[in-house]
Chain A
Amino acid sequence: MSGLLLELDSIAKSFGGIAALKPVQLKLRAGEVLGLVGENGAGKSTLIKILSGVERPDSGQILWNGHAVAFESPFQALEAGIATIHQELAYFGRLSVAENLMMGDPWPRYRWGGVNWKDLHREAKTRLNRCGLNIPTHRLFNELSSAQKQEIAIARALSRKSRLLILDEPTASLSEPEVERLFSQLNKLRRQGVSILYVSHRLDEILELTDRVAVLRDGELVASYSTNSVDLNRIVKDMVGRPLDQVFPRNRASEIGSPMLELRGVSRSPFFYDISFKAHAGEIVGLAGLVGAGRSGLARAIYGLYPIESGKMCLLGREWRPRSPCEAVRSGLVYLPEERKRQGFVLDHSVRDSISIGFSDLITKCGLIPRRLEDSRVEAACRRFSIRTSSIRQPIRTLSGGNQQKCLLARWLDRDPAVIVLDEPTRGVDIGAKAEIHALIDQLAGQGKAVLLISSDLPEVLGMSDRILVMHRGRVSDELRGERMTQENVIMAASGMCAK
C-alpha cells in the first residue's frame, strides 16, 4: 500500500456540553477501504460531518496528504478531494441527469451566454462512461431508481478527481443486486487508488468490502483491525462493549395469557414481507432492527393507517382488517407514534385537549363532553403518570419531551386497550422520565395487555421484552428468547446475519 492519505489527530467535538466525539485518532492510506461501524449515537455521523466540512472540530487536526487542513465549508472539502455521499441524496429531482451531474461545474456556453445543451450532455455522457455507467443523460433525476441515483452521486464525486469517497449508509434503500453493482463499482475505484470510508450498520457488507474496520463506541475509537484477521463476533462485541448496567423494572407476573394479536404471513411491499407472530396478554414483545427495517411500517399497518396486501391478522381472536385508526382505537388497539411532534399533537392545544381526545368519546353525552368529569379524569391521569404541568390548560408545547410522551400514553389508557403498540417510546426523553415510562410499560403488561415495543435502544428492548423479534429488510430475521436475548444476537440479526 502507498502512503498515508488522511490522518485524524485527536479530533474532538461536543454539542451542548455532550461529547459526541472524544479525541479520536484515525489513519487512512491511499487506496484503502475503511469500514466504520458503531451503534446509533456512537459518533459516526459527527465524524463524517467533520471530514466533509459540515462541522468543525473543537480540537485536534486533520492531516490531508501530510498537510494540516481546516475545512471551513463542504465546498472546501470537496475542492481538496474529499467527496461525501450522504444518506439522503441532495439532488434536484426535476432536473435531468446531465444537469445534476454538472451542477457546480462551469457549463459549456455559447458566446451569447446561452447553455450549449448538446455539449453539456456530451460531457455528462463521457463522465458517466468513465465510471462504466450507461444512464441516459436526458432522464429526470426523479425517474431513476435509488441505485442509479447512488451511481450518479458517485460519478459526480469522482468527476472532481476526489481521492477520498465517504459513503454513509449507501445501501439503506438498495436491493441485493443493486448492492452487488455498487460493490463492483467501489472495487473498481479501489483499484484506481481512491480511498473509501464506508459507514454502515450492515456488518456483512463491511466484512465483504473493506480492508480495515474501525469501531466507534460512545464517541471513542475502541478498536481497529484488518478485516482479514477479524471475525464478526469480535466486531459485535466491540460495538456493544458495555455490559447492561441499566436496571429495568419487572414486577409483572411471568405467565402469559391468551393471544391478543396474531399475524400470519402479513406483507406489504416494499415495507415488510411475510410477518408472522403472536402477542399474548401480559407479554411485551420487542421489535428490534435498524431504522428502515420496516418496523414502523408494520406497526402502522396493524393500526389501520394503510392496508396490508396479503396475509391475515387477528385481534382478540377475530379477523382484523382495520380501515382506519379510528376503528383500531374502538376495537382496543392503540398506537403511540414515533414522532411525537408531527404525529402526536397539535402543539398549541392544551394538555387537557391533547389527552382527552383519546377517551372523551367514552364520556360524551349527546355529543357534549362533561367538563368537570373530563377535567377530573385528565387530572387523575396526570397524577397517575406523574405528568409535570402547572395546569392542564397549558399548551402541550411547553412540556418537556418526557412529559409529552407520558401525555401520549395517558391519552389511551383510560380506554383500557387490549393491545398497545409503542413506537420508540423513550426517544428524546431524559433518563428520569425514561425510567417512569419503563415502569408504566411493565405495569401495563402486568394488567394483562399485550404490548408491542418497537425500539432502537438496545438495552431498552432487551431489558423490557419477554421476547424479541428482529427485523431485517422487511422480514423477521430472528426471534430471540431467554438466554439468546443478547445485544450481540440482536445486532447480528438486525444486520442480516443469523447466528444460529
Chain B
Amino acid sequence: MRYSILLLILFAEIGLFTVIGGQRVDSMSEIGRYLTLYFSDILAQSAPVLLLAFGMTLVLMTAGIDLSVASMVALIACVMSSFDPGIGFWWTAVPVGLVLGLLLGLTNGLLIARLDIPPIIATLGTMILYRGLCFVVMGDLEKAPFLDVPGYEWFGQFLGAVFVIAMIYLAAGSYLNGSRWLREILMIGGNRVAARYAGVPVTRRLCEVYAVAGFMAFLAALCFTARNSSVSGSSLTGLELHVIVAVVLGGTRVQGGAGTWIGSFLGVLILSVLDEGLRGASVWGEKHLPFKISHIEFLVLGVLLAAGVWMNTRFQDRNP
C-alpha cells in the first residue's frame, strides 16, 4: 500500500520533470534507455544519502534521531583529505576514517544511552561540535586528494555505488531483518521500559545503533569524496534534513518501533529525483516562473516531511 504510493510519487515526478526538461522520448526502447541512464545517474549521485538513510532508519526505529550525520560525513572526509594521496591512502586514511566514523557514532550513543540526554539535543550538540572540528581540521581550505588515489573513483561511479548500496540494503538489510538484534531494537523503540524488563541490554543496543550510523557516515564519506573529489569544512551542510525527510517519507515512525529499509530507499529516490529535476528545470523556470526554481526546494522538503508524518499516523496500524 505504502510502497505503491511511494512508487507512484516517484514516477509522477520523473514524468513531470521529463516533460518540463524538454527531454524527447519517442519510442519504448528510448524510454527504457533514458530511464536506465537516469537511474544509474541518480543512484550514483544519491549513494551517500542512501547510506545515511539506512543508518537513520535504524536510529528512528529506536525512537531516536541523529542530526549529526552530515557533520560526521564532512568530518570523516576532512580528516581523510589530510592524508597524502597515493596507494598508501588505502591503508592509512581509509582505516582512520572507518575508526573515526565508529567513534563519532559511539559518542552519540554514549551521550544518549549512558547520560540519558534526549537524542535530538545530544545529536544537535554533536552536529555543531563535529562541524566545528571540520573547520579546525581544514581551516578555509578546500582539499582534493581523492582522485589521485588509484582506484578511488570507483566508489563515485555507478558500479561502485551500486555495489556498496547493494551490500548494505540487500545483504545487511536482509540479514538484519531476520536477526534478533533488530527485534530488540524495535522493542526498545516501541517501549523502552518493556524492553528493559524483557532482558534486552538497552544501553548497549542504543550505542550499537548509533555506531552503525557512524559506520554509514564513513561509507557515505567514501562515496561522496569519490564523486565530488574535493571537500571543505562546510561540505554537506544541511544534508541531515534530506536524510530525515526521506526516511520519514519512507514510512519509518518517528515514535519508534517500526520502519523498513525499502521505504527509506524509495524515500531517498523521491528526494533525489526532485533535486535533480529542479536543477534540470531551471531553464524552463526562468522562462515561466517569477522566481528561481531551485529556491522552492526547501518548501517542497517541508511539505514532504509533513505529508510523510501524516501518512505514518494515518496508516499506523498496518505495516507498509
Closest A residue, CB atoms, query B199? A329
Q: How many Å lie between the Cα of A325 and that of B316 in the bound state?
A: 31
Q: How many Å lie between the Cα of A411 and that of B197 in the bound state?
A: 12
Does A219 belong to the interface (CB within 8 Å)? no
Between A329, A347, A357, A395, the greatest number of chain B beta carbons within 10 A of the residue's beta carbon is seen for A357
In the complex, per-residue mask of B250-261: 1 if CB is within 8 Å of any chain A CB, else 0: 000000011000
Does B288 belong to the interface (CB within 8 Å)? no
Does B186 belong to the interface (CB within 8 Å)? yes
Does A337 belong to the interface (CB within 8 Å)? yes
Contacting A at CB under 8 A, from B196-216, are 196-201
Closest A residue, CB atoms, query B181? A367
The segment from B104-112, B134-142, B187-195, B273-281 found at the interface with A is B187-195
In the complex, per-residue mask of A343-373: 1 if CB is within 8 Å of any chain B CB, else 0: 1111111000100111011001001110100
A358 and B198 form a contact (CB under 8 A): yes
Q: Shortest beta-carbon distance, B157 to chain A, in Å? A: 32
A357 and B200 form a contact (CB under 8 A): yes
Closest B residue, CB atoms, query A370? B178
B257 and A345 form a contact (CB under 8 A): no
B197 and A325 form a contact (CB under 8 A): yes
A344 and B194 form a contact (CB under 8 A): yes
How many residues of chain B have a CB within 8 Å of chain A?
24
Does A118 belong to the interface (CB within 8 Å)? no
A371 and B178 form a contact (CB under 8 A): yes
B196 and A325 form a contact (CB under 8 A): yes
Q: How many Å lie between the Cα of A351 and that of B52 in the bound state?
A: 32
Interface SS, B side: helix
Q: A326-B199, A328-B199, A346-B186 are in contact. Are A360 and B194 (CB under 8 A)?
A: no
Does A234 belong to the interface (CB within 8 Å)? no
Q: How many Å lie between the Cα of A305 and that of B317 in the bound state?
A: 32
Q: Shortest beta-carbon distance, B6 to chain A, in Å? A: 21
Write out the residue numbers on chain B whose beta carbons fall within 8 Å of the beta carbon of A368: 175, 178-180
Write out the residue numbers on chain A whose beta carbons fall within 8 Å of the beta carbon of B317: 348, 395
Does B114 belong to the interface (CB within 8 Å)? no
Write out the residue numbers on chain B whose beta carbons fall within 8 Å of the beta carbon of A344: 194, 197-198
A345 and B191 form a contact (CB under 8 A): yes
Does A342 belong to the interface (CB within 8 Å)? yes
Contacting B at CB under 8 A, from A315-342, are 324-326, 328-330, 334-335, 337, 342
Closest B residue, CB atoms, query A411? B198
Q: How many Å lie between the Cα of A368 and that of B171 in the bound state?
A: 13
A367 and B257 form a contact (CB under 8 A): no
B187 and A361 form a contact (CB under 8 A): no
Q: A329-B199, A346-B257, A349-B257 are in contact. Are A369 and B194 (CB under 8 A)?
A: no
Write out the residue numbers on chain B whose beta carbons fall within 8 Å of the beta carbon of A328: 199
Write out the residue numbers on chain B whose beta carbons fall within 8 Å of the beta carbon of A345: 191, 194
Q: Shortest beta-carbon distance, B207 to chain A, in Å? A: 14
Q: Shortest beta-carbon distance, B320 to chain A, in Å? A: 13
Does B183 belong to the interface (CB within 8 Å)? yes
A364 and B196 form a contact (CB under 8 A): no
Closest B residue, CB atoms, query A358? B198
Contact of A367 (CB < 8 Å), options: B179, B186, B190? B179
Closest B residue, CB atoms, query A329? B199
Q: How many Å lie between the Cα of A330 and that of B199 in the bound state?
A: 8
Write out the residue numbers on chain B whose beta carbons fall within 8 Å of the beta carbon of A324: 196, 199, 201
Q: How many Å lie between the Cα of A261 and that of B197 in the bound state?
A: 19
Does B184 belong to the interface (CB within 8 Å)? yes
Identify 17 new A-B residue pairs, CB closer than 8 A, beyond the known A345-B191, A346-B190: A324-B201, A325-B197, A330-B199, A342-B191, A342-B193, A347-B190, A348-B190, A348-B317, A349-B186, A349-B257, A353-B186, A357-B199, A358-B199, A367-B179, A369-B178, A369-B179, A411-B198
18 contacts between A and B (CB under 8 A): A305-B197, A324-B201, A326-B201, A329-B199, A343-B193, A343-B194, A346-B186, A346-B190, A346-B195, A349-B186, A357-B187, A357-B200, A364-B179, A364-B180, A368-B175, A368-B179, A369-B178, A411-B198
